[in-house]
Structure 1
Protein backbone atom coordinates (compact mmCIF):
# COMPACT_ATOMS: atom_id res chain seq x y z
CA UNK A 1 0.00 0.00 0.00
CA UNK A 2 1.53 3.28 -1.11
CA UNK A 3 -1.49 5.36 -2.19
CA UNK A 4 -2.45 6.96 1.10
CA UNK A 5 -5.91 7.96 -0.16
CA UNK A 6 -6.93 4.33 -0.65
CA UNK A 7 -5.96 3.21 2.86
CA UNK A 8 -7.90 3.43 6.10
CA UNK A 9 -6.85 5.43 9.15
CA UNK A 10 -5.74 2.32 11.12
CA UNK A 11 -3.76 1.03 8.13
CA UNK A 12 -1.86 4.30 7.71
CA UNK A 13 -1.17 4.68 11.41
CA UNK A 14 0.10 1.11 11.62
CA UNK A 15 2.48 1.75 8.71
CA UNK A 16 3.75 4.96 10.31
CA UNK A 17 4.29 3.18 13.63
CA UNK A 18 6.33 0.55 11.80
CA UNK A 19 8.60 3.23 10.36
CA UNK A 20 7.07 4.34 7.10
CA UNK A 21 7.45 8.08 7.68
CA UNK A 22 8.18 9.31 4.17
CA UNK A 23 5.59 10.83 1.84
CA UNK A 24 5.71 11.99 -1.77
CA UNK A 25 3.42 14.76 -3.02
CA UNK A 26 3.14 14.79 -6.85
CA UNK A 27 2.62 18.35 -8.12
CA UNK A 28 1.81 19.36 -11.68
CA UNK A 29 -0.36 21.82 -13.55
CA UNK A 30 -3.36 22.25 -15.80
CA UNK A 31 -2.05 23.99 -18.91
CA UNK A 32 -1.78 23.73 -22.67
CA UNK A 33 0.62 21.14 -24.06
CA UNK A 34 0.23 21.75 -27.76
CA UNK A 35 -2.56 20.19 -29.77
CA UNK A 36 -1.56 16.59 -29.04
CA UNK A 37 -1.26 16.29 -25.24
CA UNK A 38 -3.83 16.71 -22.45
CA UNK A 39 -3.92 19.70 -20.13
CA UNK A 40 -3.05 17.49 -17.15
CA UNK A 41 0.18 16.18 -18.72
CA UNK A 42 2.46 17.48 -15.96
CA UNK A 43 0.24 16.13 -13.19
CA UNK A 44 -0.11 12.69 -14.78
CA UNK A 45 3.65 12.43 -15.20
CA UNK A 46 4.28 13.50 -11.60
CA UNK A 47 1.78 10.96 -10.28
CA UNK A 48 3.23 8.09 -12.30
CA UNK A 49 6.82 8.84 -11.32
CA UNK A 50 5.87 9.26 -7.65
CA UNK A 51 4.19 5.84 -7.68
CA UNK A 52 7.25 4.25 -9.27
CA UNK A 53 9.62 5.92 -6.81
CA UNK A 54 7.59 4.51 -3.91
CA UNK A 55 8.55 1.01 -5.06
CA UNK A 56 12.22 1.82 -4.51
CA UNK A 57 11.91 3.84 -1.31
CA UNK A 58 9.40 3.20 1.46
CA UNK A 59 6.92 6.04 0.99
CA UNK A 60 3.28 6.99 0.97
CA UNK A 61 2.08 8.68 -2.21
CA UNK A 62 -0.43 11.46 -1.76
CA UNK A 63 -3.12 12.43 -4.28
CA UNK A 64 -1.59 14.77 -6.87
CA UNK A 65 -1.91 18.54 -6.73
CA UNK A 66 -3.31 19.37 -10.15
CA UNK A 67 -3.03 23.15 -10.08
CA UNK A 68 0.21 25.05 -10.46
CA UNK A 69 1.63 28.41 -11.48
CA UNK A 70 1.14 28.55 -15.25
CA UNK A 71 0.47 32.21 -16.00
CA UNK A 72 3.21 32.16 -18.65
CA UNK A 73 0.87 30.30 -21.01
CA UNK A 74 -1.76 33.05 -21.25
CA UNK A 75 -3.79 33.45 -23.42
CA UNK A 76 -3.46 29.72 -24.20
CA UNK A 77 -5.49 27.62 -21.82
CA UNK A 78 -4.21 27.34 -18.28
CA UNK A 79 -5.91 26.98 -14.90
CA UNK A 80 -3.44 28.67 -12.58
CA UNK A 81 -3.06 29.60 -8.95
CA UNK A 82 -0.92 32.39 -7.53
CA UNK A 83 2.47 31.69 -6.00
CA UNK A 84 1.04 32.51 -2.59
CA UNK A 85 -1.85 30.08 -3.08
CA UNK A 86 0.36 27.17 -4.09
CA UNK A 87 2.78 27.91 -1.26
CA UNK A 88 -0.03 28.03 1.30
CA UNK A 89 -1.60 24.80 0.03
CA UNK A 90 1.62 22.78 -0.04
CA UNK A 91 2.74 24.25 3.29
CA UNK A 92 -0.54 23.27 4.94
CA UNK A 93 -0.30 19.74 3.54
CA UNK A 94 3.24 19.41 4.87
CA UNK A 95 2.25 20.70 8.31
CA UNK A 96 -0.64 18.25 8.43
CA UNK A 97 1.56 15.33 7.39
CA UNK A 98 4.10 16.25 10.06
CA UNK A 99 1.34 16.38 12.68
CA UNK A 100 0.51 12.80 11.75
CA UNK A 101 4.05 11.50 12.14
CA UNK A 102 5.53 11.94 8.66
CA UNK A 103 9.04 13.37 8.93
CA UNK A 104 10.33 13.22 5.34
CA UNK A 105 8.31 14.92 2.62
CA UNK A 106 9.28 15.01 -1.04
CA UNK A 107 7.58 17.57 -3.27
CA UNK A 108 7.81 15.87 -6.66
CA UNK A 109 7.42 18.58 -9.27
CA UNK A 110 6.59 18.20 -12.96
CA UNK A 111 6.01 21.84 -13.96
CA UNK A 112 8.80 24.37 -14.28
CA UNK A 113 6.62 27.27 -13.13
CA UNK A 114 6.24 25.66 -9.69
CA UNK A 115 9.97 25.49 -8.99
CA UNK A 116 10.42 28.78 -7.15
CA UNK A 117 7.48 28.17 -4.83
CA UNK A 118 8.29 24.58 -3.99
CA UNK A 119 11.94 25.26 -3.24
CA UNK A 120 10.88 27.72 -0.52
CA UNK A 121 8.27 25.58 1.27
CA UNK A 122 10.76 24.21 3.80
CA UNK A 123 11.51 27.79 4.85
CA UNK A 124 7.81 28.68 5.01
CA UNK A 125 7.05 25.88 7.48
CA UNK A 126 10.38 25.85 9.34
CA UNK A 127 8.93 26.80 12.73
CA UNK A 128 5.62 25.00 12.18
CA UNK A 129 6.80 21.39 11.99
CA UNK A 130 8.74 19.27 14.51
CA UNK A 131 12.50 19.53 14.53
CA UNK A 132 14.08 16.98 12.25
CA UNK A 133 11.30 17.15 9.64
CA UNK A 134 12.89 17.18 6.20
CA UNK A 135 10.94 18.81 3.34
CA UNK A 136 12.47 19.26 -0.10
CA UNK A 137 11.48 19.48 -3.77
CA UNK A 138 12.68 17.47 -6.74
CA UNK A 139 11.79 18.20 -10.36
CA UNK A 140 11.92 14.99 -12.37
CA UNK A 141 13.89 16.47 -15.27
CA UNK A 142 16.82 17.14 -12.91
CA UNK A 143 18.01 13.57 -13.46
CA UNK A 144 17.24 13.28 -17.18
CA UNK A 145 20.03 12.89 -19.73
CA UNK A 146 18.18 14.86 -22.42
CA UNK A 147 17.14 18.50 -22.24
CA UNK A 148 13.42 19.00 -21.59
CA UNK A 149 11.29 21.22 -23.77
CA UNK A 150 7.53 21.61 -23.57
CA UNK A 151 5.21 19.07 -25.22
CA UNK A 152 8.36 17.84 -26.98
CA UNK A 153 9.49 14.30 -27.81
CA UNK A 154 10.44 13.57 -24.20
CA UNK A 155 7.20 14.74 -22.62
CA UNK A 156 5.17 13.12 -25.40
CA UNK A 157 7.04 9.82 -25.00
CA UNK A 158 6.33 9.84 -21.27
CA UNK A 159 2.63 10.34 -21.94
CA UNK A 160 2.60 7.60 -24.58
CA UNK A 161 3.93 5.27 -21.89
CA UNK A 162 1.54 6.50 -19.18
CA UNK A 163 -1.75 7.37 -20.91
CA UNK A 164 -1.49 6.63 -24.65
CA UNK A 165 -5.23 7.03 -25.08
CA UNK A 166 -4.86 10.74 -24.24
CA UNK A 167 -2.18 11.40 -26.88
CA UNK A 168 -3.05 12.42 -30.45
CA UNK A 169 0.11 11.86 -32.48
CA UNK A 170 -1.69 12.85 -35.68
CA UNK A 171 -2.05 16.33 -34.17
CA UNK A 172 1.59 16.57 -33.08
CA UNK A 173 3.46 19.45 -34.69
CA UNK A 174 6.98 20.73 -34.35
CA UNK A 175 7.32 23.86 -32.28
CA UNK A 176 9.88 26.57 -32.68
CA UNK A 177 11.10 29.88 -31.40
CA UNK A 178 9.52 33.05 -32.75
CA UNK A 179 12.73 34.95 -32.10
CA UNK A 180 16.09 34.79 -33.83
CA UNK A 181 18.96 32.44 -33.08
CA UNK A 182 19.76 32.01 -29.39
CA UNK A 183 23.09 30.55 -28.30
CA UNK A 184 21.63 29.08 -25.10
CA UNK A 185 17.89 28.46 -25.49
CA UNK A 186 17.52 26.81 -22.10
CA UNK A 187 19.13 29.71 -20.25
CA UNK A 188 17.20 32.43 -22.09
CA UNK A 189 13.80 30.75 -22.02
CA UNK A 190 14.11 29.69 -18.38
CA UNK A 191 14.65 33.34 -17.41
CA UNK A 192 11.82 34.72 -19.58
CA UNK A 193 9.07 32.11 -19.25
CA UNK A 194 8.15 33.03 -15.64
CA UNK A 195 6.79 36.29 -17.09
CA UNK A 196 2.99 36.03 -17.59
CA UNK A 197 1.96 35.56 -21.25
CA UNK A 198 5.59 34.97 -22.27
CA UNK A 199 5.37 31.45 -23.69
CA UNK A 200 3.10 32.15 -26.70
CA UNK A 201 5.27 35.16 -27.52
CA UNK A 202 8.43 33.06 -27.53
CA UNK A 203 7.31 29.74 -28.97
CA UNK A 204 5.11 28.72 -31.90
CA UNK A 205 1.94 26.68 -31.24
CA UNK A 206 2.68 26.17 -27.53
CA UNK A 207 5.38 23.57 -28.25
CA UNK A 208 9.09 23.85 -27.51
CA UNK A 209 10.74 21.01 -29.39
CA UNK A 210 9.58 18.36 -31.85
CA UNK A 211 7.18 15.69 -30.54
CA UNK A 212 6.84 13.80 -33.81
CA UNK A 213 9.53 11.20 -33.07
CA UNK A 214 8.13 10.33 -29.64
CA UNK A 215 7.48 6.69 -28.81
CA UNK A 216 6.00 4.61 -26.03
CA UNK A 217 9.20 2.54 -25.87
CA UNK A 218 11.30 5.64 -25.26
CA UNK A 219 8.82 6.79 -22.62
CA UNK A 220 8.96 3.49 -20.74
CA UNK A 221 12.76 3.58 -20.67
CA UNK A 222 12.72 7.18 -19.45
CA UNK A 223 10.19 6.42 -16.71
CA UNK A 224 12.29 3.57 -15.39
CA UNK A 225 15.54 5.52 -15.50
CA UNK A 226 14.11 8.70 -13.99
CA UNK A 227 12.30 6.85 -11.20
CA UNK A 228 15.40 4.89 -10.23
CA UNK A 229 17.63 7.98 -10.32
CA UNK A 230 15.19 10.01 -8.23
CA UNK A 231 14.92 7.18 -5.71
CA UNK A 232 18.72 7.14 -5.45
CA UNK A 233 18.72 10.93 -5.06
CA UNK A 234 16.19 10.69 -2.22
CA UNK A 235 18.34 8.15 -0.39
CA UNK A 236 21.44 10.29 -0.86
CA UNK A 237 19.76 13.55 0.21
CA UNK A 238 18.40 11.94 3.37
CA UNK A 239 21.72 10.24 4.15
CA UNK A 240 23.57 13.56 3.96
CA UNK A 241 20.84 15.27 5.99
CA UNK A 242 21.20 12.71 8.77
CA UNK A 243 24.98 13.07 8.78
CA UNK A 244 24.98 16.87 8.78
CA UNK A 245 22.04 17.66 11.02
CA UNK A 246 21.73 14.47 13.11
CA UNK A 247 18.04 15.24 13.63
CA UNK A 248 18.64 18.92 14.42
CA UNK A 249 17.85 21.93 12.24
Structure 2
Protein backbone atom coordinates (compact mmCIF):
# COMPACT_ATOMS: atom_id res chain seq x y z
CA UNK A 1 0.00 0.00 0.00
CA UNK A 2 1.37 3.39 -1.03
CA UNK A 3 0.25 6.13 1.35
CA UNK A 4 0.01 8.93 -1.20
CA UNK A 5 -2.35 6.93 -3.43
CA UNK A 6 -4.88 6.22 -0.68
CA UNK A 7 -7.74 8.25 0.77
CA UNK A 8 -7.83 9.05 4.48
CA UNK A 9 -10.69 6.60 5.19
CA UNK A 10 -8.77 3.82 3.44
CA UNK A 11 -5.68 4.65 5.49
CA UNK A 12 -7.79 4.57 8.62
CA UNK A 13 -8.59 0.94 7.86
CA UNK A 14 -4.86 0.21 7.61
CA UNK A 15 -4.01 1.93 10.89
CA UNK A 16 -6.72 -0.04 12.68
CA UNK A 17 -5.09 -3.33 11.74
CA UNK A 18 -1.38 -2.64 11.11
CA UNK A 19 1.37 -0.71 12.87
CA UNK A 20 4.36 -0.93 10.50
CA UNK A 21 5.50 1.55 7.84
CA UNK A 22 8.31 1.63 5.28
CA UNK A 23 9.97 5.01 4.72
CA UNK A 24 12.27 5.08 1.65
CA UNK A 25 15.22 7.50 1.76
CA UNK A 26 18.05 8.29 -0.58
CA UNK A 27 19.81 11.30 -2.02
CA UNK A 28 20.02 13.61 -5.00
CA UNK A 29 23.72 13.72 -5.75
CA UNK A 30 26.28 13.06 -8.44
CA UNK A 31 26.76 9.46 -9.44
CA UNK A 32 29.36 9.99 -12.12
CA UNK A 33 28.97 10.60 -15.86
CA UNK A 34 26.76 7.55 -16.40
CA UNK A 35 24.10 7.49 -13.67
CA UNK A 36 21.33 9.96 -12.76
CA UNK A 37 21.57 12.11 -9.64
CA UNK A 38 18.46 10.37 -8.37
CA UNK A 39 20.19 6.97 -8.24
CA UNK A 40 19.94 6.47 -4.48
CA UNK A 41 16.36 7.57 -4.01
CA UNK A 42 15.25 5.61 -7.06
CA UNK A 43 16.76 2.45 -5.59
CA UNK A 44 15.26 3.06 -2.14
CA UNK A 45 11.82 3.71 -3.56
CA UNK A 46 12.09 0.66 -5.80
CA UNK A 47 12.65 -1.60 -2.82
CA UNK A 48 10.05 0.01 -0.55
CA UNK A 49 7.30 0.05 -3.18
CA UNK A 50 8.01 -3.55 -4.19
CA UNK A 51 7.94 -4.83 -0.63
CA UNK A 52 4.78 -2.87 0.12
CA UNK A 53 3.18 -4.46 -2.93
CA UNK A 54 4.20 -7.97 -1.90
CA UNK A 55 3.31 -7.69 1.78
CA UNK A 56 0.56 -5.09 2.07
CA UNK A 57 2.56 -2.99 4.52
CA UNK A 58 2.42 0.78 4.19
CA UNK A 59 5.01 2.67 2.11
CA UNK A 60 5.33 6.44 2.55
CA UNK A 61 6.54 8.95 -0.05
CA UNK A 62 10.28 8.98 -0.57
CA UNK A 63 12.70 11.40 1.08
CA UNK A 64 14.74 12.34 -1.98
CA UNK A 65 17.45 14.57 -0.50
CA UNK A 66 19.83 13.31 2.15
CA UNK A 67 23.13 14.11 3.83
CA UNK A 68 25.38 14.63 0.79
CA UNK A 69 27.70 17.61 1.35
CA UNK A 70 30.65 15.36 0.51
CA UNK A 71 29.48 15.38 -3.12
CA UNK A 72 28.90 19.12 -3.33
CA UNK A 73 31.72 19.90 -5.77
CA UNK A 74 29.83 18.14 -8.57
CA UNK A 75 27.06 19.92 -10.47
CA UNK A 76 23.52 19.51 -9.20
CA UNK A 77 24.20 17.74 -5.91
CA UNK A 78 21.67 18.74 -3.26
CA UNK A 79 21.97 18.08 0.44
CA UNK A 80 20.49 18.75 3.84
CA UNK A 81 22.77 19.63 6.72
CA UNK A 82 22.95 16.69 9.08
CA UNK A 83 21.07 18.25 12.05
CA UNK A 84 18.31 19.47 9.73
CA UNK A 85 18.02 16.04 8.11
CA UNK A 86 17.77 14.30 11.47
CA UNK A 87 15.12 16.69 12.73
CA UNK A 88 13.12 16.41 9.50
CA UNK A 89 13.15 12.61 9.49
CA UNK A 90 12.25 12.53 13.18
CA UNK A 91 9.38 14.93 12.59
CA UNK A 92 7.78 12.94 9.79
CA UNK A 93 8.29 9.71 11.73
CA UNK A 94 6.41 11.27 14.64
CA UNK A 95 3.61 11.98 12.12
CA UNK A 96 3.33 8.25 11.59
CA UNK A 97 3.32 7.58 15.33
CA UNK A 98 0.44 10.05 15.71
CA UNK A 99 -1.61 7.90 13.33
CA UNK A 100 -0.81 4.69 15.19
CA UNK A 101 2.40 3.40 13.62
CA UNK A 102 4.76 2.04 16.27
CA UNK A 103 7.48 0.47 14.11
CA UNK A 104 9.25 1.92 11.07
CA UNK A 105 11.86 0.64 8.64
CA UNK A 106 13.95 3.32 6.97
CA UNK A 107 14.57 1.78 3.55
CA UNK A 108 17.84 3.51 2.81
CA UNK A 109 20.06 3.57 -0.27
CA UNK A 110 22.57 6.31 0.65
CA UNK A 111 25.55 5.65 2.89
CA UNK A 112 25.64 9.26 4.07
CA UNK A 113 22.26 8.80 5.75
CA UNK A 114 23.11 5.74 7.83
CA UNK A 115 24.48 7.20 11.04
CA UNK A 116 21.82 9.91 11.10
CA UNK A 117 18.94 7.47 10.66
CA UNK A 118 20.31 5.35 13.48
CA UNK A 119 20.49 8.43 15.68
CA UNK A 120 16.87 9.29 14.89
CA UNK A 121 15.88 5.73 15.71
CA UNK A 122 17.67 5.98 19.04
CA UNK A 123 15.94 9.25 19.93
CA UNK A 124 12.49 7.85 19.21
CA UNK A 125 13.16 4.58 21.01
CA UNK A 126 14.62 6.31 24.07
CA UNK A 127 11.39 8.29 24.34
CA UNK A 128 9.38 5.11 23.67
CA UNK A 129 7.57 6.83 20.79
CA UNK A 130 8.14 3.96 18.38
CA UNK A 131 10.82 1.60 17.14
CA UNK A 132 12.62 2.66 13.93
CA UNK A 133 15.55 0.91 12.27
CA UNK A 134 17.68 1.60 9.22
CA UNK A 135 17.98 -0.97 6.39
CA UNK A 136 20.57 -0.64 3.64
CA UNK A 137 19.97 -2.84 0.62
CA UNK A 138 23.54 -3.91 -0.16
CA UNK A 139 24.26 -4.60 3.51
CA UNK A 140 21.51 -7.23 3.41
CA UNK A 141 23.26 -9.23 0.65
CA UNK A 142 27.01 -8.61 1.08
CA UNK A 143 28.14 -12.05 -0.11
CA UNK A 144 26.12 -11.82 -3.31
CA UNK A 145 27.44 -8.34 -4.08
CA UNK A 146 31.01 -9.55 -3.56
CA UNK A 147 30.42 -12.60 -5.75
CA UNK A 148 28.92 -10.60 -8.62
CA UNK A 149 31.60 -7.93 -8.89
CA UNK A 150 35.37 -8.05 -8.74
CA UNK A 151 35.33 -4.44 -7.48
CA UNK A 152 31.89 -3.22 -6.47
CA UNK A 153 32.64 0.42 -5.95
CA UNK A 154 31.28 1.61 -3.67
CA UNK A 155 29.92 4.94 -4.95
CA UNK A 156 28.55 4.95 -8.51
CA UNK A 157 30.20 1.59 -9.03
CA UNK A 158 28.90 -1.53 -10.76
CA UNK A 159 26.45 -2.52 -8.03
CA UNK A 160 24.55 0.79 -8.24
CA UNK A 161 24.93 0.83 -12.01
CA UNK A 162 23.45 -2.66 -12.29
CA UNK A 163 20.59 -1.73 -9.99
CA UNK A 164 19.61 1.27 -12.12
CA UNK A 165 20.05 -0.81 -15.28
CA UNK A 166 17.39 -3.09 -13.81
CA UNK A 167 15.05 -0.48 -12.31
CA UNK A 168 15.36 2.44 -14.74
CA UNK A 169 17.48 1.37 -17.75
CA UNK A 170 16.51 4.43 -19.76
CA UNK A 171 18.40 6.61 -17.27
CA UNK A 172 21.77 4.82 -17.61
CA UNK A 173 24.19 6.42 -20.08
CA UNK A 174 25.52 3.13 -21.41
CA UNK A 175 27.96 4.89 -23.73
CA UNK A 176 29.72 6.43 -20.71
CA UNK A 177 30.48 3.32 -18.67
CA UNK A 178 34.09 3.16 -19.84
CA UNK A 179 34.50 6.88 -19.17
CA UNK A 180 33.17 6.35 -15.67
CA UNK A 181 35.66 3.55 -15.05
CA UNK A 182 38.66 5.27 -16.62
CA UNK A 183 37.99 8.68 -15.08
CA UNK A 184 37.39 7.36 -11.57
CA UNK A 185 39.34 5.07 -9.29
CA UNK A 186 39.05 1.39 -8.47
CA UNK A 187 38.62 1.83 -4.71
CA UNK A 188 39.30 4.11 -1.76
CA UNK A 189 42.46 2.08 -1.15
CA UNK A 190 43.65 3.01 -4.62
CA UNK A 191 43.24 6.70 -3.77
CA UNK A 192 45.71 6.28 -0.88
CA UNK A 193 43.74 8.71 1.28
CA UNK A 194 43.71 6.48 4.35
CA UNK A 195 46.85 7.11 6.38
CA UNK A 196 47.95 5.18 9.47
CA UNK A 197 44.39 4.30 10.44
CA UNK A 198 42.92 7.75 9.69
CA UNK A 199 40.65 8.85 6.85
CA UNK A 200 42.28 11.97 5.44
CA UNK A 201 39.50 12.68 2.92
CA UNK A 202 36.21 14.45 3.49
CA UNK A 203 34.76 14.79 0.00
CA UNK A 204 34.32 12.48 -2.97
CA UNK A 205 36.40 14.93 -5.00
CA UNK A 206 39.35 14.23 -2.69
CA UNK A 207 39.40 10.68 -4.04
CA UNK A 208 38.12 10.67 -7.59
CA UNK A 209 38.07 13.13 -10.46
CA UNK A 210 34.70 12.10 -11.88
CA UNK A 211 32.98 11.17 -8.62
CA UNK A 212 32.84 7.37 -8.87
CA UNK A 213 34.73 4.23 -7.94
CA UNK A 214 34.90 0.69 -9.32
CA UNK A 215 34.52 -0.85 -12.75
CA UNK A 216 31.15 0.21 -14.13
CA UNK A 217 31.57 -1.95 -17.24
CA UNK A 218 31.10 -5.00 -15.00
CA UNK A 219 27.44 -4.09 -14.46
CA UNK A 220 24.46 -5.68 -16.20
CA UNK A 221 20.71 -5.45 -15.75
CA UNK A 222 20.68 -9.18 -15.03
CA UNK A 223 23.01 -8.69 -12.08
CA UNK A 224 20.81 -5.83 -10.93
CA UNK A 225 17.73 -8.01 -11.04
CA UNK A 226 19.51 -10.74 -9.08
CA UNK A 227 20.48 -8.28 -6.34
CA UNK A 228 17.05 -6.67 -6.32
CA UNK A 229 15.26 -9.99 -5.82
CA UNK A 230 17.67 -11.16 -3.13
CA UNK A 231 17.56 -7.91 -1.16
CA UNK A 232 13.78 -7.65 -1.53
CA UNK A 233 13.47 -11.09 0.03
CA UNK A 234 15.58 -9.91 2.95
CA UNK A 235 13.45 -6.82 3.46
CA UNK A 236 10.24 -8.86 3.38
CA UNK A 237 11.67 -11.11 6.09
CA UNK A 238 12.68 -8.07 8.15
CA UNK A 239 9.16 -6.63 7.87
CA UNK A 240 7.56 -9.88 8.97
CA UNK A 241 10.01 -10.29 11.86
CA UNK A 242 9.46 -6.74 13.08
CA UNK A 243 5.69 -6.98 12.74
CA UNK A 244 5.68 -10.10 14.90
CA UNK A 245 7.58 -8.53 17.82
CA UNK A 246 5.83 -7.39 20.97
CA UNK A 247 6.19 -3.61 21.18
CA UNK A 248 7.51 -3.62 24.73
CA UNK A 249 10.25 -6.06 23.74
CA UNK A 250 11.48 -3.42 21.26
CA UNK A 251 11.75 -0.71 23.90
CA UNK A 252 14.84 0.04 26.05
CA UNK A 253 15.71 -2.23 28.95
CA UNK A 254 15.17 -0.97 32.47
CA UNK A 255 18.16 0.44 34.36
CA UNK A 256 20.11 -2.34 36.07
- Bin of the TM-score, shorter chain as denominator length: 0.7 to 0.9
Contact 1:99 1:129 in 2 (8 A): no
For residue 145 of structure 2, give the secondary structure of its aligned residue in structure 1: coil
1:45 deviates by: 0.2
Unpaired segments of 5 or more residues in structure 2? Answer: 147-151
For residue 155 of structure 2, give the secondary structure of its aligned residue in structure 1: coil
Does residue 1:141 correspond to 2:138, yes or no? yes
How far apart, CA to CA, are the structure 2 residues paired with 1:153 and 1:68? 22
1:192 deviates by: 5.7
Q: For 1:195-214, what aligned pairs fall within 5 Å after superposition?
A: 195=202, 198-214=203-219
How far apart, CA to CA, are the structure 1 residues paired with 2:239 and 2:250? 17
- Which position in structure 1 is the counterpart of 2:149? none
Unpaired segments of 5 or more residues in structure 1? Answer: none
TM-score (norm 2): 0.83
How far apart, CA to CA, are the structure 2 residues paired with 1:126 and 1:229? 23
How far apart, CA to CA, are the structure 2 residues paired with 1:69 and 1:246? 31
- Which position in structure 1 is the counterpart of 2:2? 3
**Deviation per CA, 1:88-111, whole angstroms, max 9, x where unpaired?**
111011111000011111111110
Contact 1:118 1:137 in 2 (8 A): yes
1:233 deviates by: 2.9
For residue 116 of structure 2, give the secondary structure of its aligned residue in structure 1: helix
- Which position in structure 1 is the counterpart of 2:34? 36
Q: Go from structure 1 to structure 2 and tell me whether the alpha carbon gap of 1:91 and 1:213 turns closer, same or farther (over 3 Å shift).
A: same
Of 50, 53, 58, the match for 1:52: 50
Q: For 1:62-77, what aligned pairs fall within 5 Å after superposition?
A: 62-77=60-75
How far apart, CA to CA, are the structure 2 residues paired with 1:179 and 1:129? 39
- Which position in structure 2 is the counterpart of 1:87? 86
Aligned residues: 237
How far apart, CA to CA, are the structure 1 residues paired with 2:63 and 2:108? 10
1:180 deviates by: 6.8
How far apart, CA to CA, are the structure 2 residues paired with 1:202 and 1:13? 49
Please tell me the root mean square deviation across aligned C-alpha atoms, in Å: 2.6
How far apart, CA to CA, are the structure 1 residues paired with 2:185 and 2:87? 35
- Which position in structure 2 is the counterpart of 1:12? 11
How far apart, CA to CA, are the structure 1 residues paired with 2:52 and 2:187? 41
- Which position in structure 1 is the counterpart of 2:100? 101
Does residue 1:219 correspond to 2:228, yes or no? no
Contact 2:21 2:101 in 1 (8 A): yes
TM-score (norm 1): 0.85
Contact 1:36 1:167 in 2 (8 A): yes
- Which position in structure 2 is the counterpart of 1:176? 185
Q: Go from structure 1 to structure 2 and tell me whether the alpha carbon gap of 1:223 and 1:179 turns closer, same or farther (over 3 Å shift).
A: closer
For residue 23 of structure 2, give the secondary structure of its aligned residue in structure 1: strand
